[in-house]
Structure 1
Amino acid sequence: MKSSKLFFLVLLCSTFTFAQVGVNIPANTSVNSSAAFEIQSGSSPKGMLTPRMTSAERIGITTPANGLLVFDMDIKAFHYYDTTTSTWIRINSDVNGRTNFKRLKSTDVLATVLAAELSDGGGTKYKLKTNTLYEINGTVTLDKPIELNNAYIQGVDSGDDILVSAGNIFDGITGGTVKGLTVRSVGGKVFNLSGANTENFIFRDCIVANSSNVGSINGFGLVFISVVQFSGNTAGITYSNINQLLLSNLGWFGNNAGTFEKLTGTFKLVQKQGGFSEVNGAAVGFDVSGNPTISGDAVMENVVFTGTLTTGAYVNGYTTGSYTGYNFNNKWNVRSAGIPVETDAVAVGDVNLDSPYGTGVTTALTTGTAVKVGGTTVSNNFFRASNGGVNNKLVYLGNKKRFFTVNSVASFRGTAVSSTIYVFYIALNGVPVQRSKTYIFTTNSADVVAVPIQSILELSPNDFVEVFVQRFSGSSDMLTVSLSLFMR
């Protein structure tokens, strides 16, 4: 009897050892010949549930077997272990997913989820892991500021994914990337960043709302802020000492207060492109009154300035280097609705001499030698130009060389009864321009003769133009009654 039971047990074990196993396999149906183990859902659809765990739990498995399969709840993906490379492989259309990733949910205790980051930040801030993506899911309330440390923070929907803090949000000396979020600092600054010019900061597709202070960014190599809405903030942002500042399609709504954007210090390149600033009451849209230095170029184009002002201003302009009625110096190219156009292309200047009828200013002439027309001229309209403190002179003060149309009209009489031929020129930097040469002939000292002179000249910054004249033949000098000179 005992021998029979032992034989049956051995036979049963042998069956389990070598037979295929099927679960919910219909009657008269065999397990697939290629499978050692097959599961079918049966009469009602059901799936197979593998072990589920967090990323930390998965990584913490001791000596995982080759091919061990688990579902990572943080990353929401299946992973299997490869002993050849000693790594977990994400099952994702044959492409490994990001392993340097964390999702922060509204229900998380940050001091627990970001324990390593808190330790790296000395217990006073969350210093993120470099090149790691942190996804914000829902409203996450910060109890300490974030040191970006060249990490990435992003939300899926800026309307639902929110970072909020009673103090500073982004604080430190390093850059990083932030996108797809709403950020709100109700008692501190959204940005409190001051780093080296090797640091880059990118902030895009975000909303900055109802904050006490948008903050400041100082000393970075690149700051790129794009497609951002600013709403209900008490104070704006100050940019200082940045190599490349790129501001693209920013919307400053009329419920913001204070100075929206201010530039101080030194910049290599500034570009503010698109968007709008609705400036109401005592607010200021853009402030360069600290006279920021631009070592390269600065551009503001297609920004709409609008709103109803009381004591505020669309732009607080440069206090030195600008022109009456304008806001910027000659490093800037500005074409934006609501404020004056300021580019080298609209540089202009004119001077004129106007003697009372019957009088004039004598210019002594030597046959064959061109001299500058004398007389005291009055300066009228200047933009990126001046008279250089000299009569009969226009100096171009733009930033780039460009072509100008230079025009002059001189009205004069001869000083003696003599048939005299005069030659007039536009002079560039004290040298008569031959292609502007204009001849005029007089026979007496009673007639007042008017002669137009015109030329198209390429002027570089600090080049200047004047009106010259010479006697070609005859003996009479010239009595200038009026002279006008302008360039545009």
Structure 2
Amino acid sequence: MIYKEMMKKIMLSWCLLVVAITVMNGQVKFTDDTTAVYSPDINSILELQSPNKGFLPSRVALTSVNAAAPLTAPVTAGMLVYSLGGEISDGYYYWNSTKWVPLNPASVTRNNYVLVKSAADFPAAVGGVITLVAGTLYEINGTILLSNKIDLNDCTIIGEDTTNDKLIYTGSGELFTGAHGGKLRNVSLIATAGKVFNINGGGIANTSLLVEDCYILSSSSVGTVQGMTGYVYFADIGFYANTSGITFQNNAYVYMNGVVWDVSNTNTFETYIGTFSTIQILGGSRNVPTGSTGLNITGQTSISSGSIKSTKFVGTGTLVAGTFSKFWEVEALGLNTEKDDVATGNLYITTPGLTAIATVNVPLKISGTTTSVNLFRFASPASNRLTYTGLKIKRCMVICNLTATFSGGGSNKFFTFSIAKNGTILPESKQKVKLINDTDQTFIGVASMIFLAPNDYIEIWVENNTDAADITALTLNLSVI
């Protein structure tokens, strides 16, 4: 009995010694494979082997990727758990000292996605044109040299680093060609000997070109975009060292938002030709050097709505070539403000005329030949008439100063001078004066705040409140501001 107890103690001591040695220096391999050889991988501290069983780590309910809970902080970097039923997506996560990072299997990739590290990653060119596969996103990684053109085919090309992810076209044609638009984002576009764009939508329904967060630089020409029925949208674009700019022709909607044209560009930056529904230039800047033009609208024949807002035009070159029609609203540093709110008009008498009074207390338009000056969104189709030609209802101050005298003898005659809108006297504008005799020349001032709708017109009228004596306006100056 004593011998057996001693043997048990000896065996237990040996087991504890083996375990201690294993903990201090050994490797551990667990297996339920009876045919397996106990031989742990030389680089592993722990190895699991089973032909039909998996490894089940701790399952916890993580509440946030930024919180250690439900584990107790601090958590050692590298801690691995499987989050199940928490407030974040189920799956494997490891702690990187500051937050939980999901483990994404390498086999999970996007559909309809191509990573482009060289020109060979694009579809094969046919006739010198690479036609992108419809519905596919192409991500540019690094500098891609191209001798063939690209038909965007309504696809998306993106980069992650605008400075280093580049498409460089080495030919003399254009980098982007064809009738379809697409999306370009976070890439640099260069066509040293050619154009960046030569896209003609040709009326294809709803095709659009969207270019965002890109550099377009060191190109012979930025090129031409025309015939697009959808949107042409350039946002947060830097143009640098381009020999010639871009021409937009017969596009439905053109938006240039946050676009910067550096002084290193030459010739004409933006040219608009033909018919447009909308042109919007918002923010950004145009720094125009001597001999160059920032904006050319001389060829723009029709537009429904145009606006230039919060944009800076500077430089020693021609900032704008052409004139803005009433369909434009311009409010930009370096340009004259042009919008309905600042519409103005002025006219004055150059040849006085007799206003024949037929009936007492019946107002008539003052006669005489007038000349108009400083008209902006006003016209003067007839003497003593200013017609508002803007598009929006405008609140105006109408001011008229004149001198007048009556004829036919007599004395102490009363006359009332008024502003007439569309041939109707405005009662609030009436000013009544007394002329002592027919040699008396009295100064009269008439003013009123009124609202004018498109094509409304104003005139100055007079009535004799005493008799039928005629009156002559010797001077008259009418202003609308």
Class of the TM-score when normalised by the shorter of the 2 chains: 0.7 to 0.9
TM-score (norm 2): 0.77
Select which of 358, 383, 399 maps to 1:391: 383
Letter of the aligned partner of 1:336 in structure 2?
A: A
Report the equivalent of 2:175.
169
Report the equivalent of 1:217.
225
TM-superposed CA distance for 1:361, in Å, is 3.1
Indicate if the aligned counterparts of 1:197 and 1:242 stay in contact, CA closer than 8 A.
no
Gaps in structure 1 of 5+ consecutive residues: 1-13, 41-45, 47-75, 81-89, 91-96, 318-326
Report the equivalent of 1:335.
331
Report the equivalent of 1:373.
366
Indicate if the aligned counterparts of 1:20 and 1:31 stay in contact, CA closer than 8 A.
no
Indicate if the aligned counterparts of 2:41 and 2:47 stay in contact, CA closer than 8 A.
no
Report the equivalent of 2:276.
267
Letter of the aligned partner of 1:128 in structure 2?
A: L
Report the equivalent of 1:236.
245
Report the equivalent of 2:473.
480
Report the equivalent of 1:403.
395
TM-superposed CA distance for 1:181, in Å, is 0.7
Change (3 A) 1:444 1:234: same
3-state SS in 1 of match to 2:391: coil
Residues 306-363 of structure 1: per-residue CA shift (max 9 Å, x gap): 1223xxx11111xxxxxxxxx31111111112222211111111111256xxxx5321
Residues 131-183 of structure 1: per-residue CA shift (max 9 Å, x gap): 22111001001121111111110111111000001231111111111010111
Indicate if the aligned counterparts of 1:191 and 1:216 stay in contact, CA closer than 8 A.
yes
Select which of 12, 16, 19 maps to 2:33: 16
Identity %: 30
Report the equivalent of 2:131.
127
Report the equivalent of 2:115.
103
Report the equivalent of 2:188.
182
Report the equivalent of 2:96.
none
TM-score (norm 1): 0.76
Residues 117-140 of structure 1: per-residue CA shift (max 9 Å, x gap): 33xx64431111222211100100
Report the equivalent of 1:467.
460
TM-superposed CA distance for 1:280, in Å, is 1.1
Indicate if the aligned counterparts of 2:32 and 2:50 stay in contact, CA closer than 8 A.
no
Indicate if the aligned counterparts of 1:300 and 1:335 stay in contact, CA closer than 8 A.
yes
Report the equivalent of 2:90.
none
Letter of the aligned partner of 1:161 in structure 2?
A: D
Q: Which stretch of structure 1 is more off in the superposition, 433-442 or 26-35?
A: 26-35
Indicate if the aligned counterparts of 1:197 and 1:219 stay in contact, CA closer than 8 A.
no
Distance in structure 2 (CA, Å) of the matches to 1:314 and 1:165: 30
Select which of 306, 309, 322 maps to 1:301: 309
TM-superposed CA distance for 1:24, in Å, is 4.8
Letter of the aligned partner of 1:429 in structure 2?
A: N
Change (3 A) 1:133 1:26: closer
Report the equivalent of 1:457.
450
TM-superposed CA distance for 1:77, in Å, is 6.0
Change (3 A) 1:434 1:181: same
Letter of the aligned partner of 1:300 in structure 2?
A: I
Gaps in structure 2 of 5+ consecutive residues: 1-30, 58-77, 79-102
TM-superposed CA distance for 1:479, in Å, is 2.2
TM-superposed CA distance for 1:109, in Å, is 4.8
Report the equivalent of 1:287.
296
3-state SS in 1 of match to 2:265: coil
3-state SS in 1 of match to 2:33: helix
Letter of the aligned partner of 2:326 in structure 1?
A: N
Report the equivalent of 1:59.
none
Which portions of structure 1, spanning 4 or more consecutive aligned residues, are displaced by more than 3 angstroms?
14-35, 37-40
